[in-house]
Structure 1
């Protein structure tokens, strides 16, 4: 990717301050280049007069000096966006602090309202996940933002004036043995005042450090095989058990807990309680992590404005666009193979014995075809293995982990044995019936790939007919020379025969 400009962003939060630098090319493909975090806990420096103390200002300026130094050494940085949230909102001397930041570092700080902060979290979720209806929560150090959205449209938003750090100070810092129950009562009273947070039965999506840590802990405990936190889902009951355990064990045990950042070992207790209470009161079944939140929401707002759109129309297609660009996929070939694959699928649907709908099979085949044999970018001879590895180890926006595994198994299909070998570590993520479907779709996709073996589009059409003798007859109509297409198809038709438990005959007819 040829980077033509860079977007630097500094997020001044109540618990931490973070710098992110994103590189962008002419077609608005982008990638994160740098990501640094400093734990500042500015909310701890709000004094009795509700001002950010001199010590707190010194901490802030030291971090911003360091970040500004990094930015100044980066070439092609055209935008530096600095946003501040709850701690700065609460500080009565915020205008003076912002002025001192400008004077010392040259950075202009944009103070976000609570509702704007909530909006950016929602905006990141709808532009980076598969979730169209849900309740979002972003619990920071000094505030908690929630939204409710349906059909990807924002319906409600609110910012609560409490966060992980302030709740810890209020309920847990003194060692009160009743802290957990007192906090629970407070949260019930608070959330019950908003009917759109109660009994909606929607998935809850969390952004920010607390949500990430809960996902990390759960993945470690589940021995989760797939790489990536983004769009990882925890069932409601498991979240409740984890929240209760975090409150019961001591500080030292939390500091040594795999998946939990040491700098969050204290504030994770009230923070997880907030998330768990929202999930329970909402009566949803799951809690899902969005690894993209405030910062990404700010970036998406700028980037999509440059492209002239309000939101990404279909997030998964945007991700596929990025992957095809990054791995130099031949779009002409993949589109051609996809069309042939659907000619095959539509023809064999009458003989498919499956528990899954035609729509489900078409969805899996369509997106698998978009990314088929992406591993050729690494090595052509072992493209199947590399395809599976890439698709299970790259975070892909707009698709659940379950569906990402489906695409990986179909897009990398070589034969039944290899597919089952790939699937073995993911035993809990795909049923036997699903594996049968993936085998059939993989065999279809591989055969379609064979029909364009030379990548010269010599096969114009494939017709499918099922004879009375239960023979699947495929007729490929071609022009010019289809020698290598026929050779590959005849060699690999056995995979479709095994998947359908039917004999397959292929003939090639020249126009």
Structure 2
């Protein structure tokens, strides 16, 4: 049975409500994601007290969140607070006030808990085995190092983008001297972590400041895929964003594509944080994650029921099967198609017509789960809907390139459609890779034709050259009239991809074939 769970994250810069639906098929779906830019850190006075104005902002926000939660039949609500409340000397008073006036119990996360939940949210959504995570908040910075997908080090700095801005920047736009002083300060702080220095591991950025940096870079480059999850930047990219922003006036800054107006005054200290850790680590790249602390808390909440806490590697089969279930795709029937396309690949491989490796077979299996899912929206434009959906869907564990590869295979309709879809991404795939994707896509399309009646009648195949043509023998355990009719319509796509004429021959066999 499905149930809804709410997570409230009371941060130093924003307060956010996420409502998740936990589905029976081991699926977690985000139903609501609402944030309020409260900037509680700015209401902390010199005595480390959250003042009455700040408490009032917090209470008003939580009251609205409670009303939203009541509309979603939520079975449980977990509210957590991070640096701003953790550092406030009147935290007990704040918690009691929220409990009395809103009826919500708040847990204040320790530094280690905040670091771990951020790591847990990230690690289940990336295929990186060893790396660094940095969660830049308004009042703190959590950094972890993970090895073999396990957190091995963590540290929490009691400074964040808001407190750094207050400490180093006097006006809306920092001066060169202020930036220099901030950079030196950060460099000294990060260098104290011996496990961080020159470890040469990839860095994964968590939080709104990291996402804003990526959004700006996406817009500057006119990147063909508008997706932040697992988007990668080099240090030169961060420096280019910094140079662009430094050349602008305050008014121009507020109109920069990708930069939210609520962060226009804190983007500069954020950039310095990311540059400083990049240099300290000597990282190969900086990757952005759309998953973080709230997702980590949710995974931890349900792990006893559905998740193996020791298995932090994204299961790509499960991820794609969950998407397929959202579109009412019969996975058992799809497995028949996948088995058919594997047999065809083996057949063409044995005939030395096509070289297929294990990665190709995995790609075809993944694409088989989602092939032509656009029929859910409209049958006549199924291919276009399929490509658009997969291209714009953040799929955990898939790099941007792998996602486009999946979209090209799962939407394969014809040579012309393929060329149109791949055009913005041609630099990602050399000519020989594009040709192979066309062949694999046409093989997948043919396999669906051979399973048109869903009776699983194809038991084997054999390919051999006769009189200058390829003869594809298909062994069936039942009548094949409809399958032959459908295959004859689709075989021309494979012929064009291979540049060969193919003759289909169907034969009856009464015993299973061994492959």
- TM-score interval, normalised by the smaller of the two chains: over 0.9
CA contact (8 A) 1:227 1:394 kept: no
Contact 1:46 1:53 in 2 (8 A): yes
Distance in 1 separating the partners of 2:69 and 2:125: 26
2:92 is equivalent to residue 95 of structure 1: yes
**2:343 aligns to what?**
343
CA contact (8 A) 2:123 2:313 kept: no
1:431-510 residue pairs with structure 2 within 5 A? 431-463=430-462, 465-467=463-465, 471-510=469-508
- 1:31-67: CA deviation from partner (whole Å, max 9, x where unpaired): 2222211111111111121111122112211211221
Question: What is residue 36 of structure 1 aligned with on the other side?
Answer: 34
**1:238 correspondence with 2:256:** no
Alpha-carbon distance between aligned partners in 1 of 2:196 and 2:245, rounded to the nearest angstrom: 24
Matched, 1:167 2:164: yes
Pair 1:252-2:251 in alignment: yes
SS of residue matched to 1:306: coil
Judging changes above 3 Å, is the alpha-carbon distance between structure 1 residues 352 and 171 closer, same or farther for their aligned structure 2 residues? farther
Number of aligned residue pairs: give it: 505
* Distance in 1 separating the partners of 2:246 and 2:299: 36
Contact 2:25/2:322 (<8 A) preserved:
no
Secondary structure at the residue paired with 2:79?
strand
Q: Which has the higher mean CA deviation after the structures are superposed, 468-477 or 435-444?
A: 468-477
State the shift of 1:176 in Å.
5.0
**Distance across 1 between alignment mates of 2:237 and 2:226:** 20
The match for 1:118 is: 115
For residues 214-266 of structure 1, the C-alpha deviation after alignment (integer angstroms, 9 at most, x for no partner) is 11111112222324322222233112221343345333222111111101001
1:473–1:506 CA contact under 8 A, matched in 2: yes
SS in 2 for 1:178: helix
In structure 1, C-alpha distance between the alignment counterparts of 2:224 and 2:391, rounded to whole Å: 9
Tell me if the contact between 2:149 and 2:312 (Cα under 8 Å) persists in the aligned partners.
Answer: no
**What is the Cα deviation at residue 134 of structure 1?**
1.7
Residue pairs, 1:17-32, within 5 angstroms:
17-32=15-30
Equivalent residue for 2:129, pick from 121, 128, 132: 132
Paired position in structure 1 for 2:215 = 216
Contact 2:125–2:314 at 8 Å: present in 1 too?
A: no
- Aligned CA distance change for structure 1 residues 308 and 219 (closer, same or farther; 3 Å): closer
SS of residue matched to 2:305: helix
403-412 vs 424-433, which moves further: 424-433
Bigger shift: residues 277-286 or 254-263: 277-286
| Alignment partner, residue 424 of structure 2 | 425
Which whole-Å CA distance do the structure 2 matches of 1:169 and 1:70 have between them?
A: 33
Distance in 2, matches of 1:236 and 1:471, equals 53
The answer as to whether partners of 1:52 and 1:93 remain within 8 angstroms in 2 is yes
Q: Name the TM-score, length of structure 2 as normaliser.
A: 0.93
Mapped contact 2:127–2:313 kept (Cα < 8 A): no
TM superposition shift of 1:317: 2.2
Q: Which string of whole-angstrom CA distances, capped at 9 and with x for unpartnered residues, describes residues 297-327 of structure 1?
A: 1111112322151145534223212211100
Contact 2:345 2:354 in 1 (8 A): no
Q: Hey, what does 1:76 align to over in structure 2?
A: 73
**Aligned-partner Cα distance in 1 for 2:383–2:492:** 18
The answer (yes or no) to whether the contact 1:243–1:276 under 8 Å persists in 2 is no
Deviations 1:416-467 (A, max 9, x none): 111001112333333322211210110111111121121121222223x344
**In structure 2, how many angstroms separate the alpha carbons of the residues matched to 1:301 and 1:426?**
37
The RMSD of aligned alpha carbons is: 2.0
> Given that residues 136 and 207 in structure 1 are in contact (C-alpha distance below 8 angstroms), is that contact kept between their aligned partners in structure 2?
yes
1:16 equivalent in structure 2 = 14
Q: Would the alpha carbon gap of residues 68 and 434 (structure 1) be closer, same or farther in structure 2, given more than 3 Å must change? A: same
Are 2:81 and 2:107, in contact at CA under 8 Å, matched by a contact in 1?
yes
SS at 1:271 equivalent:
helix
Structure 1 spans left out of the alignment, 5+ residues: none
- How far apart in 1 are the matches of 2:114 and 2:415? 49
SS at match of 1:406: helix
1:477 CA drift (Å): 0.9
| Contact 1:10/1:83 (<8 A) preserved | yes
C-alpha distance in structure 2 between counterparts of 1:451 and 1:248, whole Å: 60
Contact 2:126 2:314 in 1 (8 A): no
Contact 1:126 1:152 in 2 (8 A): yes
Task: Give the conservation status (yes or no) of the 8 Å contact 1:334–1:369.
Answer: yes
Contact 1:14–1:140, Cα closer than 8 Å, also in 2: yes
Determine the structure 2 residue equivalent to 1:304: 303
Q: Is 1:344–1:462's contact at 8 Å kept on the other side of the alignment?
A: yes
Preserved CA contact (<8 Å) 1:21 1:32 = yes
User: Relative to 1, partners in 2 of residues 1:17 and 1:132: Cα closer, same or farther, differing over 3 Å?
Assistant: same
- Write the distance in 1 (CA, Å) between the matches of 2:484 and 2:197: 61
Deviation at 1:329, TM superposition (A): 0.9
Tell me how far 1:287 sits from its aligned partner: 1.6
Say which is worse superposed, 234-243 or 76-85, in terms of deviation: 234-243
Measure, in 2, the Cα distance between the counterparts of 1:302 and 1:7. 9
Paired with 1:240 and 1:60, the residues of 2 have a C-alpha distance of: 36
Whether 1:228 aligns to 2:236 is: no
